[in-house]
């Protein structure tokens, strides 16, 4: 029987932190204690969880005293400040920021893809970028069978990927546009309503954005494939929730659409929605507010040999962030890996 643990959420009042609470309750995660942490502005708020009110506390280094697992749902600067403090006090940290993803001493984990990597953690386990998670849950069974050598990925990312303010901006802009009012961008550089923006995160020297380069570096690390070639284009689209991705893979071994459907149909965390005759294919509306990755439009890439095209959708707030973190915590419990970091 799994022993209940004491858990903290750093960033409990944000979009991902709130979703983590929802997922913990849905999955009946065994808790003996819960501590909700945020910055000073949100401290004092009351959040109800499982019939009990919890007061949000201001995060301080000693907030992690007697905490077994810490879920981090904040940005890099705050994670870099507090994650080491949590580890110092004996907590295992599951970090949703990008602060530690490419650190060679920190596992980068998707439970359906590389759960074995959890075993070598030194106190911090990183949650991958949402687009990487959505892609690799679908690609891992194909990679195991045929060995993916090259990926070309175009993402169509929902505004909620920018948090609650991104969702609110799309709502406001859509109303203003239809009412004939001036549409003013704020969260996004340009109008997002009735538009797409081929730019997410900062541009790098090679003209790719940081978001696009995450797909390369994180995929290589998670799949243990340092020679994997990846070219990504990340686009913000006027969709409220659930990211979509068009993916082309080139494989070492021939992989036909039929075999791909068979492999995906047996894989964990996936639902195949692929019947062109009845117009069945993955869409953000259907894949939102649940944890499966939907895969469809599976077809041979007629422009190259040993090449396959597919389309995937997944809820980036849930499986792309909150659920993946909770699943990692579940694996820690199942493997008896909680408590071994406890300070003397």
Q: What is the pLDDT of residues 20-31, one digit of tens each?
A: 999 999 999 999
Residue 344 has pLDDT above 50, yes or no: no
Q: Please report which helix (H) or strand (E) contains residue 272, including its range.
A: strand 270-272
DSSP string covering 47-76, please?
Answer: EEETTEEEE-EE--GGGGTT-SEEEE-S-H
Whether 47 shows a pLDDT value over 90: the answer reads yes
Rounded to an integer, the average pLDDT of 120-130 is: 97
Only one residue has tokens 């910055």, namely: 39
Average pLDDT over residues 13-37: 97
**Active-site amino acid positions:** 130, 243
pLDDT at 338: 84
At residue 341, does pLDDT exceed 80?
A: no
Taking residues 249-263, what's their average pLDDT? 97
Task: Tell whether the model's pLDDT for residue 139 goes beyond 60.
Answer: yes
Q: What is the pLDDT of residue 2?
A: 80
pTM of the complete model = 0.95
The Cα–Cα gap between 67 and 148 comes to: 40
Helix (H, G, I), strand (E, B) or coil at 330: helix
Helix intervals (H) in the chain: 15-26, 76-88, 130-146, 164-178, 210-223, 257-266, 284-287, 323-334
Instruction: Please give the structure tokens belonging to residue 55.
Output: 């007061």
Provide the pLDDT for residue 342: 47
At 66-106, the pLDDT tens digits run 999 999 999 999 999 999 999 999 999 999 999 999 999 99
What is the set of domains in the chain, with CATH numbers?
5-128+321-334 (3.40.50.720), 132-317 (3.30.360.10)
């Amino acid at each position: 029987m799994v022993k209940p643990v004491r858990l903290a959420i750093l960033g409990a009042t944000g979009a991902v932190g709130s979703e983590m609470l929802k997922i913990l309750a849905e999955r009946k995660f065994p808790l003996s204690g819960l501590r909700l942490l945020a910055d000073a502005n949100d401290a004092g708020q009351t959040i109800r969880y499982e019939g009990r009110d919890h007061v949000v506390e201001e995060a301080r280094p000693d907030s992690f005293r007697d905490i077994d697992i810490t879920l981090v749902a904040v940005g890099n600067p705050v994670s870099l400040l507090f994650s080491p403090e949590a580890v110092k006090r004996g907590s295992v940290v599951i970090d949703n920021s990008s602060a530690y993803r490419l650190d060679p001493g920190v596992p980068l984990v998707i439970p359906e893809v590389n759960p074995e990597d959890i075993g070598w953690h030194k106190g911090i386990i990183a949650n991958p970028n949402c687009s990487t998670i959505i892609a690799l849950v679908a690609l891992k069974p194909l990679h195991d069978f045929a060995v993916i050598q090259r990926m070309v990925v175009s993402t169509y990312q929902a505004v909620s990927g920018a948090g609650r303010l991104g969702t609110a901006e799309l709502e406001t802009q859509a109303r203003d546009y239809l009412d004939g009012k001036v549409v003013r961008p704020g969260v996004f550089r340009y109008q997002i309503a009735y538009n797409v923006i081929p730019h997410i995160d900062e541009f790098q020297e090679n003209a790719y954005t940081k978001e696009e380069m995450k797909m390369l570096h994180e995929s290589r690390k998670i799949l243990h494939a340092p020679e994997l070639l990846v070219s990504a284009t990340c686009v913000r689209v006027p969709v409220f929730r659930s990211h979509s991705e068009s993916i082309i893979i080139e494989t070492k071994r021939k992989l036909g659409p039929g075999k791909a459907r068979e492999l995906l149909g047996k894989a964990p965390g996936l639902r195949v929605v692929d019947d062109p005759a009845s117009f069945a294919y993955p869409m953000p509306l259907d894949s939102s507010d649940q944890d499966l990755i939907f895969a469809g439009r599976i077809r041979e890439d007629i422009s190259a040999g040993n090449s396959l095209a597919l389309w995937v959708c997944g809820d980036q707030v849930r499986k792309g962030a909150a659920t993946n973190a909770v699943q990692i915590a579940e694996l820690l419990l199942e493997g008896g890996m909680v408590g071994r970091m406890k300070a003397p």
